[in-house]
Amino acid sequence: MEQTLSIIKPDAVAKGVIGKIVDRFESNGLRIAAAKKLQLSQAEAESFYAVHSERPFFKDLVEFMISGPVFAMVLEGEGAMAKNRDLMGATNPQEAEPGTIRADFADSIDANAVHGSDSVENAKNEIKFFFCDREIV
């Protein structure tokens, strides 16, 4: 069964909407195969987002991701990667379809509530970044 990584970002954790966001996944056929709340270090956030290291928003992105705890999950289900991306909505919440997680819970392109892997290949690496095998059940 396909797996993908989801992160509830510091803005949504601070708002107390972890449960509401998890409900979106569970209500749409995605199973929570692993979950943990943690505080990322700067080095961890820089490493996780290394692909964006040359982008002008990299520093802001890293600062935001370490501004408070995050809630990381492995989502599992048929077409889990694409399904999660659909449920998340567009990167910029102002452009996100009504009813998507970002439309309902995000405030800005920085504080956009959730991260989701953007390919099945990236999902495998991102899952390894957060979870060891015995934490995924």
Q: Which residues are catalytic?
A: 115
Is position 110 an interface residue for ligand GDP (rule: CB under 6 A)? Answer: yes
Distance CA 24, CA 13 (A): 15
Is position 57 an interface residue for ligand GDP (rule: CB under 6 A)? Answer: yes
Distance CA 78, CA 80 (A): 5
Q: Apex CA 6: angle with CA 121 and CA 55, to 5°?
A: 70
- Stretch 6-45: interaction string toward ligand GDP, x if CB under 6 A: ----------------------------------------
119 vs 135, beta carbon nearer ligand GDP: 119
83 vs 115, beta carbon nearer ligand GDP: 115
Contact 119, 10 (CB under 8 A): no
